[in-house]
Structure 1
Amino acid sequence: MPWAALALAAGCAQAPEGGDRAAADLFSGAVAPAGAAEGTCWHRATRPALVETVTEQVAVDGGFRTETRQRILREREVTWIEPPCPEELPPDFAASLQRALAARGAYDGPITGRLDAATGAAVRRWQVARSGPDSAVPSRAMLEALGLVPVRRAD
């Protein structure tokens, strides 16, 4: 099934036998964050810190000494994303996602029905451009905006 990678991303279920194992490499699963509602699925996206290394030659006593130092330009960021749970997704989910992104000019690859690297990159670009998470895992909010999953209503 093409949406097996999303199942792994959500940390809710195992990929079914014969699932899309190549797509699974795009995602990593996680348990739900503290306080998450029961029955919801989650993905933890980690953006690594950005570190700059500076090497300089410093003059000392008629010669030079090499000094190297590092500084953090951006701290490591952890973001919790709520994708839909696998049982909420139709069998043709990946193809529907690719078509929805293509219709909005965010994906120009073939409609393969697989959550491959090109699809993940399009998801990431779409979400980041709309102040969403910097992740290839589609959030529930993104999929609701694209009309791909039912909108949850507040009780």
Structure 2
Amino acid sequence: MSFRFSGKNFIPFHKAVIPVCIALGACVSDQATYQATGDTGVQIGYTPDAAPVNRRTGMPEPGCWALDYEPAVTETITQNVQTQREKRDRDGTVTEPAIWRSETTTRIVTPRQTLNFETPCANMLTEEFLTSLQRSLQARGDYEGTISGQMDRQTRMAIRQYQVQNGLNSAYLSLENARALGLVEVPRPPETETSAPETPETVPEPDVTDI
């Protein structure tokens, strides 16, 4: 299960950072806070560039494809960094307190990813098909809207919520998930011709007559 598919916005989380003194004298306090950010689903949709190219033939793969992008997830870290150590006299009394400053850094937790997957063709997305889709998503608790047979925003959100559970963070319905919902027939493997087993020839027994 990958980090990128949560179905919802990433939740801020906190960690404690153990103070570590560096040779130069800088230390990091244990007041660091971490926050993960990043909205999901920069949608591109059905474009001529969506079909992947077959490496063997150099031609686009047949069928209908969707192209979607999931933006990078970044982590913002705010921590207090000691810029000057405290000063003490010979008796150990603090004469000058330590000086700290707040420092914020950002790092990429998950880089931006391209989502490229096969999807039901546009001529399949009829009102009857979308009605069945909404009912299937409703039965699974992912769709709470009206059964309208229209691909509206609420239906898109329900598609994403369902597909995230299967590892695809996109509001475009994949062909694989359409099959899992029972909306598209699963292709059968090609049948192999089997020849009937050969039966050994039986030689008739000769008639035996008494002489």
State the TM-score, normalizing by the size of structure 1: 0.68
Q: Which 5+ residue runs of structure 2 have no aligned equivalent?
A: 1-41, 55-59, 85-97, 191-211
1:144 aligns with 2:168: no
Report which of the two structures shows the higher radius of gyration computed on alpha carbons: 2
For 2:126, the aligned partner's letter is: P
Q: Within 5 A, what are the aligned runs for 1:1-155? A: 28-30=45-47, 31=49, 32-35=51-54, 36-38=60-62, 40-61=63-84, 63-129=99-165, 131-154=166-189
Pick 1 or 2: higher relative contact order, CA cutoff 8 A, min separation 6: 1
Judging by fraction of residues, say which structure has more helix. Answer: 1
Tell me how far apart the structure 2 counterparts of residues 146 and 69 of structure 1 sit (CA, whole Å). 43
Shift of 1:138: 0.8
Q: CA RMSD in A?
A: 2.5
Q: Work out the number of aligned pairs and report it.
A: 129
When structure 1 is superposed on structure 2, of 25-34 and 82-91 the one drifting more is: 25-34
Counterparts of 1:56 and 1:121, CA distance in 2: 36
Kept in 2: contact 1:27–1:137 (CA 8 A): no
- Report the Cα offset of residue 109 of structure 1: 1.5
Change (3 A) 1:101 1:27: farther
Give the Cα–Cα distance (whole angstroms) in 2 for the partners of residues 103 and 60 of structure 1.
Answer: 58
Instruction: Tell me the distance in 2 between the aligned counterparts of 1:27 and 1:95.
Output: 24
In the alignment, the residues of structure 1 paired with residue 82 and residue 43 of structure 2 have an alpha-carbon distance, to the nearest angstrom, of: 48
What is the TM-score with the length of structure 2 in the denominator?
A: 0.52
**SS of residue in 2 equivalent to 1:92:** helix
Identity across matched positions, percent? 39
Aligned mates of 1:73, 1:101 — CA distance in 2: 31
Q: Give CA-to-partner distance per residue, 1:43-70, whole Å, 9 cap, x none.
A: 1222111111223332224534443321
Structure 1 CA distance, aligned partners of 2:128 and 2:80? 59
Runs of at least 5 residues in structure 1 that lack an aligned partner in the other structure: 1-24
